[in-house]
Amino acid sequence: MTRITSLQVTDVRFATSLFLDGSDAMNPDPDYSAAYLVISTDAGDGLTGTGLVFTIGRGNDVQVAAIRRVAEHLLTSDVEDLLADMGATSRSLVYDSQLRWLGPEKGVMHMAIGAVINALWDLKAKRAGLPLWDLLGRMSPEELVELVDFRYFGDVLTRDEALDILRAAEPGRDERRERLLADGYPAYTTTPGWLGYDDAKLERLAKEAVADGFQQIKLKVGLDLDDDRRRLKIARDAVGPDVAIAIDANQRWEVDEAVAWVDTLAEFDLAWVEEPTNPDDLLAHAEIARAIAPIPVATGEHMANRVMAKQFLQADAVQVLQMDATRVAGVNENLAILLLAAKFGVRVCPHAGGVGLCELVQHLSMFDFVAVSGTTDGRMIEFVDHLHEHFVTPAVVTGGRYRSPLAAGSGAEMLAASVVGNTWTPE
């Protein structure tokens, strides 16, 4: 029997608000942070499982407390059992009825479950000597559906349908793996577009993005329409007509306001409109999507769980699904979301602005390409060039593409000095 010998949960914070990195219409001064979990065992292999939740500062200590409480569930278990049946492990955490009351399946407790599940996946991938995307991409359709919680999916996606999707993607897995290893996965960059940057910085970074090979950039909008027009013109002039520009309102608008605002900005040829309004409001997103079509609506970084994802897809409220690696209950729930997206034929372009989100979510998109949707058409992963230096195997983006990680694990592991050096303790 393998036991967990320690659970370390650390409150890691970076003072990003000093430079307005990450600033947008709803989040003027985020301090990018992570509640960071390290699981050690007595297996004698020296391997740890690492997971994290990305937050933007205050409250990261509450997230730490939540991860600690969830992770305690594992202390009496055999690690071999936990890793052997990750579907059962995930369900045992999600359906702890007392903890579930605090969501259910949303917010701090749900993200805590995600950190714990992801830490176990990190450990499992390290033990297998494979990067997570490749570990998942080598599992059979039958093994993969066992990871998914189909509860509340009866009206939309059954286990059999999920199996069909995964089986349809089996031919060509090897070829796609080779293509990934050779060419990587498309990326777009948000680095030029933070709302707190001045025009000169926007222009410079937009030109750099094109020079770096990105085919799409993203601008934060929604605070002032005149500013948005001016900034979009600067960006469009900087990148030229062939590079796509998406905009992101970070939940700033009412329905009518969103439609009118987008109408005024449409001349700049918008790749998508992201988070136009409250992220729970699928009916509002559906109304906005109908009104601004063919410009697609993108959302997902605050999508609380697979049941919300299901409804956004049912209601045609989202055309670009922005899966987030640490918002939901980990790899298992994101697999459910990838299957839903495949069922509805909606493209997935993950959210990755944050601490470790690029490192984590690239594995899910690459796995999706290998074994679920089988395509990168219209798909790309967000890239933001912040804070990667704190990770043991930072995401590598060159020529506008994520290079497939080769190191074993999920990518979540941080440098010891980065954890210790940025540890924050409430008063």
Residue numbers annotated as active site: 220, 351
Residue 300 and residue 325: Cα distance in Å, rounded? 11
Instruction: Output 255 or 392, the one with its CB closest to its own copies.
Output: 255
Torsion on CA atoms 177, 169, 362, 107, rounded to nearest 10: -160
Q: Cβ of residue 208: shortest distance to its own copies, in angstroms?
A: 28
Does 109 interact with its own copies (rule: CB under 8 A)?
yes
CB of 137 within 8 A of CB of 371? yes
What is the residue type of 66?
A
Does 216 interact with its own copies (rule: CB under 8 A)?
no
Residue 393, judged by CB atoms within 10 A of its CB (0-12, 13-18, 19+), counts as: middle
Residue 263 and residue 251: Cα distance in Å, rounded? 17
Among residues 10, 16, 63, 118, the one that binds its own copies under rule CB under 8 A: 63
Count of beta carbons in the 10 Å neighbourhood of residue 205: 21
Does 307 interact with its own copies (rule: CB under 8 A)?
yes
Does 58 interact with its own copies (rule: CB under 8 A)?
yes
Q: Determine the 3-state secondary structure of 208 from DSSP.
A: helix
Instruction: Output 139 or 307, the one with its CB closest to its own copies.
Output: 307
Does 15 interact with its own copies (rule: CB under 8 A)?
no
Does 57 interact with its own copies (rule: CB under 8 A)?
yes
* Crossing angle between the packed helical segments 330-344 and 306-314, to the nearest 10 degrees: 10
Q: E strand or H helix at 72, and its extent?
A: none
β partners of residue 50: 38
Per-residue x/- track, 337-376, its own copies (CB under 8 A): ----------------------------------------
Does 98 interact with its own copies (rule: CB under 8 A)?
yes
Does 310 interact with its own copies (rule: CB under 8 A)?
yes
Residue 258 and residue 276: Cα distance in Å, rounded? 6
Q: Cβ of residue 297: shortest distance to its own copies, in angstroms?
A: 15
User: In 129-172, where does DSSP find H-type helix?
Assistant: 132-137, 141-145, 159-168
Does 255 interact with its own copies (rule: CB under 8 A)?
yes
Does 212 interact with its own copies (rule: CB under 8 A)?
no
Does 154 interact with its own copies (rule: CB under 8 A)?
yes
Collect contacts of 180-185 with beta carbons under 8 A, ≥24 apart.
Answer: 180/133, 180/366, 180/369, 180/370, 180/404, 181/404, 183/401, 184/398, 184/399, 184/401, 184/402, 184/403, 184/404, 185/362, 185/365, 185/366, 185/369, 185/376, 185/379, 185/380, 185/381, 185/401, 185/402, 185/404
Per-residue x/- track, 268-287, its own copies (CB under 8 A): ---------xxxxxxxx--x
Among residues 169, 205, 265, 308, the one that binds its own copies under rule CB under 8 A: 308
Among residues 8, 20, 26, 385, the one that binds its own copies under rule CB under 8 A: 26
Q: Cβ of residue 80: shortest distance to its own copies, in angstroms?
A: 25
Does 314 interact with its own copies (rule: CB under 8 A)?
yes
Please enumerate in sequence order all residues whose Cβ is within 8 A of that of 206, keeping only pairs 6 or more positions apart, or say none. 192, 217, 234, 235, 238, 239
Instruction: Output 69 or 236, the one with its CB closest to its own copies.
Output: 69
* CA of residue 311 relative to chain centroid, distance: 19
Does 104 interact with its own copies (rule: CB under 8 A)?
yes
β partners of residue 373: none
Does 386 interact with its own copies (rule: CB under 8 A)?
no
Q: Is the peptide bond before 296 cis (omega within 30 degrees of 0)?
A: no
Does 108 interact with its own copies (rule: CB under 8 A)?
yes
Does 155 interact with its own copies (rule: CB under 8 A)?
yes
Q: Cβ of residue 31: shortest distance to its own copies, in angstroms?
A: 7
Residue 171 and residue 167: Cα distance in Å, rounded? 8
Instruction: Output 96 or 146, the one with its CB closest to its own copies.
Output: 96
Does 7 interact with its own copies (rule: CB under 8 A)?
no
Instruction: Output 107 or 394, the one with its CB closest to its own copies.
Output: 107
Which residues contact its own copies by CB under 8 A? Answer: 26-31, 55-59, 61-63, 65-66, 69, 96-111, 151-152, 154-155, 251, 254-257, 277-284, 287, 302, 304-305, 307-308, 310-311, 314-315, 426
